Amino acid sequence: MNSLHGRTIVLGISGGIAAYKAVEVCRQLVDAGAHVAPIMTEDAHRFIGPVTVSALASEPVHTSLWDDASPIPHTRLGQNAEVIVVAPATARVIAAYAMGLSHDLLTATLIATRAPVVICPAMHTEMWEHPAVVSNIALLRSRGVIIVEPQSGRLAGGDLGTGRLADPASIVAAISSALSGSHRDLEGVRVLVTAGGTREPIDAVRVIANRSSGKQGYAIAEAAHMRGANVTIVSTVDRATLPGISIESVETAQQMMDAVNCYAPTSDVVIMTAAVADFRPVQVVTGKIKKHDGVPQITLEPTVDILGALGASKPSNQVLVGFAAETDNLLENAQGKLLRKNLDLIVANDVSADRVGFGHDTNEVTIVLASGESIHVPLADKHTIATAVLDSVSRVRTAHRPQ
């Protein structure tokens, strides 16, 4: 992430079981070229050791308001920071920050800064949903604080619910967005994202499918949500995502078309990340095809062209984004698809390349705009790719606005 290189980031770690994930956040920030100044609360020491954090960060851990080397460490840290991130942020830290209660170095630094602040809550579901926490989060949002909402899944006590700290890549992406100044540029924008690969039935148990995991689509949806958008995902995969994102589950290309037709007309941005099957069987066998009946003859027919239909009926000022998964002639094929489908931009990737495309946590893409400009994004995690795609979407939306 170029936006992180050479930037000064204060990483606050408070006392929750998710504190161990802050180590990976720190590592990713340093690997991206950032200068990381860590602050640990007293309770954080119960979960991870300061030696570990100091070894990975750019300077030793700061823990106390009473530092002989710097009589006002909170002021120095707050003024030098270009962004402050708290991961994990406990209910106690969130409440103290909301009230302006500077009872330790971390909360004092939060109050003594004018830099963007990214808060990453982590707690049990009952705590996350408590009216006091809900109110404090709403208050911080109203002040411009960036909230990276917790995820759903298995919690420390073994039960399931919302409250897990967001994954490190999502946190780093939010920090990058904050530093680029684009973290709320999609406030209130209605964004529709499709994700996963469609499955076309052959019989009761077999399908024609592809290798799409939905990871890139979900990364884009989560990044858009963190930038303030109202996001709906039409998805073929069962994958956890951030609270506040609506999910419409589908399986076939026709089902995806039907769902997209419900949401697209009122969406400001439509991002067709899904890998839609090009063909489906003309006839679907009701039961299971038996091997002893011999090799079946399967006749295929084209599926619906969702992207083409969207391009043909695109409302004024809607931004339509397509994806092109190619194995050769990448730019030529992508540019042709952009023109045929009436797209505003297309994201092209060579899925035959190492660690690129389907199933991987990384991707490498070229974003081609209708203006003719192309932007190459080298191999990076899919959250970084998501940020680049949404940056281009914001540019197109700005160009669409009346001058």
Q: Could you tell me if residue 125 is inside a domain?
A: yes
**Whether residue 210 sits in one domain with residue 62:** no
- The residue among 42, 50, 53 whose CA lies nearest residue 15 is 42
Nearest Cα to Cα of residue 134 among 174, 98, 85:
98
pTM: 0.69
80 is catalytic: no
Catalytic residue among 2, 210, 317, 349: 210
Does residue 84 fall inside a structural domain? Answer: yes
- Asked if the structure places residue 264 within a domain, the reply is yes
Crossing angle of helices 19-31/168-180, nearest 10°? 50
- What rounded mean pLDDT belongs to the chain? 90
Residue 296 backbone dihedrals phi, psi, to 5 degrees: -75, 150
Same domain, 197 and 150: no
Same domain, 150 and 225: no
Residues 395 and 260 in one domain: yes
Convert the pLDDT of each residue in 289-303 to its tens digit: 999 989 999 999 999
Q: Which residue has the higher pLDDT, 281 or 144?
A: 281
228 and 130: one domain?
no
> CA quadruple 393, 361, 272, 348: dihedral positive or negative?
positive
3-class SS shares of the chain: helix, strand, coil, % to 5: 35, 25, 40
Q: Backbone phi, then psi, for 171, in 5-degree steps?
A: -65, -45
* Closest residue by Cα to residue 307 from 285, 279, 276, 336: 276
Q: Which range marks the domain in which residue 100 is found? A: 2-180
Q: What is the CATH number of the domain that holds 390?
A: 3.40.50.10300
Number of domains the chain contains:
2
Q: List, for residues 189-214, the tens digit of each pLDDT value.
A: 999 999 999 999 999 999 999 888 99
Taking the alpha carbons at both ends of the chain, their separation in whole angstroms is 32
Band (249; pLDDT cuts 50, 70, 90): very high
Same domain for 103 and 35: yes
Strand pairing class (207-208; 200-201): antiparallel
Q: Clarify whether residues 272 and 291 are in a common domain.
A: yes
Inside any domain, residue 67 = yes
